[in-house]
């Protein structure tokens, strides 16, 4: 089962990284962004929220939703995106996690961060906006990119809502319950 059965308490049903998580909560919404060449935006005096410097995607060809716990596929995508962006692990100030609230995904991405960032993964705050807005499936990427751009704009790391009982298997700083003022220049978005 992928979706949370917590229908009687929808505001608290999405609990990424919490020991009591029970699956994702379906959300609604999308976002629209204007992407243009940096020099073009500068020339017209546009307000630039962020620069998209690298991108990669990976999939598991053997199972539609099955993820290996070791995080291999996601770690490979992270490394490719960081190489395109010419970023090192030390350049990452915030990780916007997929954070769907399923045990399988939470373990997969926690291990992917360790594989891709090494020891730096333990120093970088990680959070999930899905804890607040749910998972809008195909549209979630646009919402997460906007959240990352705003994190950079305002130097704030969004909170992970409903994270009251951290899962001891997951050993990163998941920014429970309260947003954090924090210099944010480099963001890894795996949403």
Q: Which pLDDT tens digits describe the chain residue by residue (191 residues)?
A: 677 777 778 888 899 999 999 888 889 999 999 999 999 999 999 999 999 999 998 776 666 667 788 898 899 999 999 999 999 999 999 999 999 999 999 999 999 999 999 999 999 999 999 999 999 988 999 999 999 999 999 999 999 999 999 999 999 999 999 999 999 999 999 97
**Quick check: is 1 in a domain?**
no
**Quick check: is 47 in a domain?**
yes
Query: How many C-beta atoms surround the C-beta of residue 20 within 10 A?
Result: 12
Give the whole-angstrom CA distance, residue 137 versus residue 80.
Answer: 23
Confidence at residue 65, expressed as pLDDT on a 0 to 100 scale: 67
Full-model pTM: 0.93
Give residue 96's domain range.
10-189
Confidence at residue 5, expressed as pLDDT on a 0 to 100 scale: 72
**Quick check: is 24 in a domain?**
yes
Computed from CA positions of residues 150, 153, 154, 159, in that sequence, does the dihedral angle turn out positive or negative?
Answer: positive
**Quick check: is 38 in a domain?**
yes
**Quick check: is 2 in a domain?**
no
CATH number of the domain at 108, please. Answer: 3.40.47.10
Number of domains composing the chain: 1
**Quick check: is 4 in a domain?**
no
Nearest to 113 by CA among 71, 151, 69: 71
Alpha helices in 48-185 (DSSP H): 72-85, 103-117, 130-133, 140-154
Confidence at residue 3, expressed as pLDDT on a 0 to 100 scale: 78
Q: Phi first, then psi: what are they for 91, rounded to 5°?
A: -85, -10
Query: Which position has the token pair 């994702």?
Result: 24
**Quick check: is 37 in a domain?**
yes
Give the pairing type, strands 187-189 and 156-157: unpaired
């Amino acid at each position: 089962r992928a979706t949370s059965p917590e229908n009687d308490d929808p505001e608290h049903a999405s609990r990424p990284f919490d020991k009591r998580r029970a699956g994702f909560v379906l959300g609604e919404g999308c976002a629209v962004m204007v992407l243009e060449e940096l020099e073009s935006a500068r020339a017209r005096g546009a307000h630039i929220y962020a620069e998209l410097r690298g991108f990669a995607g990976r999939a598991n060809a053997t199972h539609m939703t099955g993820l290996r716990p070791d995080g291999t596929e996601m770690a490979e995508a992270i490394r490719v995106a960081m190489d395109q962006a010419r970023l090192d692990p030390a350049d990452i100030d915030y990780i916007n996690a997929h954070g769907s609230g399923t045990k399988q995904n939470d373990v997969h991405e926690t291990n992917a961060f360790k594989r891709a960032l090494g020891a730096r993964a333990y120093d970088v705050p990680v959070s999930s906006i899905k804890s607040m807005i749910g998972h809008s499936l195909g549209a979630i990427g646009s919402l997460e990119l906007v959240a990352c751009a705003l994190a950079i704009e305002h130097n704030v790391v969004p909170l992970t809502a409903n994270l009251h009982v951290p899962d001891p298997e997951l050993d990163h700083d998941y920014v429970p319950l309260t947003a954090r003022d924090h210099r944010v220049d480099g963001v890894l978005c795996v949403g």
